[in-house]
Structure 1
């Protein structure tokens, strides 16, 4: 496939829009009930252990930061959306000072260069609008030789397809630019990290999702809880015809991926695991 070129995205209130978008619904329910295993997978891939100082970028409710601390590391969970930070604090184990929660921007990380032994992001930094700037910040705050490890949905997988569908229903239509799932394309991320990381390795894996009984169950759960989906439906307002069409497409997507089980269905959602070492400044 021909790779799109990342380019700066004008602010024009986009940060406020992102904060509000991810505060919609209940992302904590998605992290807790649908993708809880992804954080530990990323922590293991990054080789995080006792004594490491870790930054989880676009941390959401701490899906990767909390398991990082469980290894004996100290961590900072950084996210643009205060509501997610507050939810994460409620869900985190009590009584420890090993985990710090910070409201901050993946494109302007509020730490000095070379601060962290490992910088990670679990389906988080992929949603920063300025891909090149976010990539540069991930590498900047990692010490020379330290690890940057990412877990992102692929453009060809279930979530990539879901975003492609939702994009067609966004009001107003978004500007043409590389979408978040491009962070799940090996060559695209390699181009972002060129000159920033060395020894880049990646592999594609799947998360088997067993949370939903049938396709409409998936659709209603995401329609209620997943900020980007909530935002698209709200943008459609009273357009019942387009809302119903989006309902059909999302249920149809789940039906295409579904395998029947004794409890209902399961789906494989593809993601990319990627790891490299920071070159330093």
Structure 2
């Protein structure tokens, strides 16, 4: 079993994605999408950005390594009546089913950053983008004090060290690394732009419930709790994450959640 596939099929990311819909739609609204565009949404999950892209009239293909999320995305597109949006399984580092220069826009929001072999991921995204087209990535930033970077940092402290040669997905949140990867994929340096942006998790329930969803349905957090249980440190991990979620909630109400996380927005012009 592909370890990355196993990680993202382990839980049920749709439970997390439900609190990301509003910001996903808002982000898509900034991409200048028109009806004539062909879009690849890479590491698409169940379509948090793919469905809003299709709702604007573009033809959208969502590709994700997790079969359960692909199935969920196709169900959501069908329920929304979006015949211009479809999902299929695929690996961001080897898009073997996709031809060169196929898409006007490649979007990957917190998706392709988690695929191994980042230089291959950059090459594949560039390969399938038409000349004059764009690539837009959203990547979490290492060491950032906001929610997701901290969840991943805390979780990593409780899990066994990664295998030799492992490249942290968080390096996609470092502009110099992003530039190096796309330059090696033959993109001129001046065509690569990085800026900070924000994404808000909005939930009609308490931060403790959102943490519970991460604990039960988000692969990296699930792995951290499994490892912590074995080491007798599950209560410690729970405490750390509870403090994080509660301190970052800006809803003004303990029964609802609104947590904003900072990410690196990458725009590459082909």
Normalised by the length of structure 2, the TM-score is 0.87
Deviations 1:168-217 (A, max 9, x none): 11135454644222222223212221232553233212223342755533
CA contact (8 A) 1:212 1:218 kept: no
Which deviates the most, 252-261 or 123-132? Answer: 252-261
Unaligned runs of 5+ residues in structure 1 are 1-12
Query: Cα gap change, 1:78/1:178 in structure 2, threshold over 3 Å: closer, same or farther?
Result: same
CA contact (8 A) 1:73 1:98 kept: yes
Distance 2:204 2:234 in 1: 21
**Number of the residue aligned with 1:218:** 210
Distance 1:209 1:68 in 2: 19
- 1:227 corresponds, among 215, 219, 228, to 219
Normalised by the length of structure 1, the TM-score is 0.84
- 2:107 corresponds, among 98, 120, 142, to 120
Deviations 1:57-77 (A, max 9, x none): 111111111111111110111
**Number of the residue aligned with 1:253:** 244
**Aligned positions of 1:66-105 closer than 5 A:** 66-94=51-79, 95-105=81-91
RMSD: 2.2
**Aligned positions of 1:128-143 closer than 5 A:** 128-143=115-130
Distance 1:108 1:199 in 2: 23
**Number of the residue aligned with 1:7:** none
Query: Cα gap change, 1:41/1:134 in structure 2, threshold over 3 Å: closer, same or farther?
Result: farther
Unaligned runs of 5+ residues in structure 2 are none
Do structure 1's residue 23 and structure 2's residue 23 form an aligned pair?
no
Equivalent residue pairs, number: 262
**Number of the residue aligned with 1:203:** 195
Distance 2:204 2:216 in 1: 14
Which deviates the most, 54-63 or 251-260? Answer: 251-260
Which deviates the most, 50-59 or 186-195? Answer: 186-195
Do structure 1's residue 192 and structure 2's residue 181 form an aligned pair?
yes
Runs of 4+ in 1 over 6 A off after TM superposition: none
Q: 3-state SS of the aligned residue for 2:83?
A: coil
Distance 1:20 1:117 in 2: 31
CA contact (8 A) 1:121 1:151 kept: yes
Query: Cα gap change, 1:167/1:36 in structure 2, threshold over 3 Å: closer, same or farther?
Result: same
Query: Cα gap change, 1:66/1:266 in structure 2, threshold over 3 Å: closer, same or farther?
Result: closer
Distance 1:260 1:121 in 2: 28
Do structure 1's residue 55 and structure 2's residue 40 form an aligned pair?
yes
